[in-house]
Amino acid sequence: VIPSNDFVRGDNREESPINNFSATDLRIGWQTTGDKAWHHVHNLPYYGIGIHNIVFSNENEIGYPAALYFFFGAPFARKGRSSFDYEFSFGLSHNWEPYDYTDNPFNVAIGSYRNAYIDGKIKYVRYLGKRVSLDAGVRVTHFSNGAMRFPNAGINLFAPFVGLRYNLIVKDVTPRDQLKIQKVEQKDELNIILASGKRSVKHTSTINEHMVSLVNISLEYLKPAGSKFKYGMGIDLGIDQNRNLTVDGDYVELASKKKQFFSAVSVIGQFRANRLAVQAGIGYELFNNNRLYLSNDISQRLGLRFYVHKNAFAGIAIKAKGFNTADYIEWSIGYSM
């Protein structure tokens, strides 16, 4: 357990650091077989859904969380019976024991029963045959709720792992030179996106007493950089009710629409695998508090996007500030021109 907040560092009921946990994953997935060009671009990737169960050394204050998630993985390199792979997962966890002023007052890490689950792995895979393989590596895991409820310091994990995979159905790989279409056609994208999110208001007398919302319209241009990546820039225009509000006890007064309005420009990087995209961006605000200004305020986005059609997509992203504080979880729909 990474000591990223006071609760896991030892400010808890047991008065000792929360250092240890154990976790298991049960998954079902699909191995690509090379019958499409993008399979070969990503060195025959795999994807699927899984269940993650975790037990902490201080379960009375944390609970017995579990997560349902989507995963995608592929080799960096493959040689003979070995490969060196990466993998990422996004999902939703539940069954936490969240902060409670009376019953669980020390848990500043987790403020809600349900939380986002994000996981990344790097691993070595040894293929013992066509059906069985073993893998071992390291993983980084993050749990938080994107400011939906406070406190929300989050829990961050780093650990080694081992795994066993069994292929229920074995298929031969289709060589790339046998495909009718042997290249992945990457095009420039001009996207318009509508995003929305909700979060709790901080500093009210009764915690999580009020919710506010964000509505954001973005225009972005993405240019291909090879067969896997795109890069570009974006412009955001939005209304954020959490800006310039007044809190007095449990009374919350929203600012005028003019003072809720903001605009920003961002640089964007995107990893693309067929209809799936992982996108990250860093934004710089140009307009806030009803005035044009230059400051050090920057925002970050990390999210998942799925293209349901060649011109339409839906996504989810965590919007953060200062690279360490979640601001909103944004749900979005978009159209590519």
pLDDT computed for residue 20 by the predictor: 92
In angstroms, the CA 135 to CA 73 distance is 13
pLDDT computed for residue 189 by the predictor: 96
Summary mean pLDDT of the chain: 95
Q: Which helix (H) or strand (E) holds 6?
A: helix 6-9
Which residue did the predictor score with more confidence, 176 or 158? 158
Mean pLDDT of 169-188: 89
pLDDT computed for residue 253 by the predictor: 96
In angstroms, the CA 298 to CA 327 distance is 12
- What lies within 8 Å, CB to CB, of 45 at 6+ separation is 32, 39, 72, 73, 74, 273
In angstroms, the CA 26 to CA 166 distance is 12
Residue written as tokens 């077989």?
A: 33
Residue 26 structure tokens: 């049960």
pLDDT computed for residue 90 by the predictor: 97
- What lies within 8 Å, CB to CB, of 182 at 6+ separation is 37, 176
Residue 185 confidence class, pLDDT cut points 50, 70, 90:
confident
Residue 176 structure tokens: 């790339």
312-317 CB contacts, 8 Å cutoff, 24+ apart: 312/336, 313/191, 313/277, 315/193, 315/277, 315/279, 316/90, 317/195, 317/279
Residue 291 structure tokens: 């005035």
In angstroms, the CA 2 to CA 155 distance is 8
CB neighbours of residue 277 within 10 Å: 19
- What lies within 8 Å, CB to CB, of 245 at 6+ separation is 201, 212, 252, 253, 254, 255
Kindly report, residue by residue over 81-93, the tens digit of the pLDDT: 999 999 999 999 9
* Cα 177–chain centre separation: 36
Residue 295 reports pLDDT greater than 80:
no
Kindly report, residue by residue over 207-256, the tens digit of the pLDDT: 999 999 999 999 999 999 999 999 999 999 999 999 999 999 999 999 99
Assign 258 to helix, strand or coil. helix
In angstroms, the CA 65 to CA 54 distance is 6
The pTM (predicted TM-score) of the whole model is: 0.93
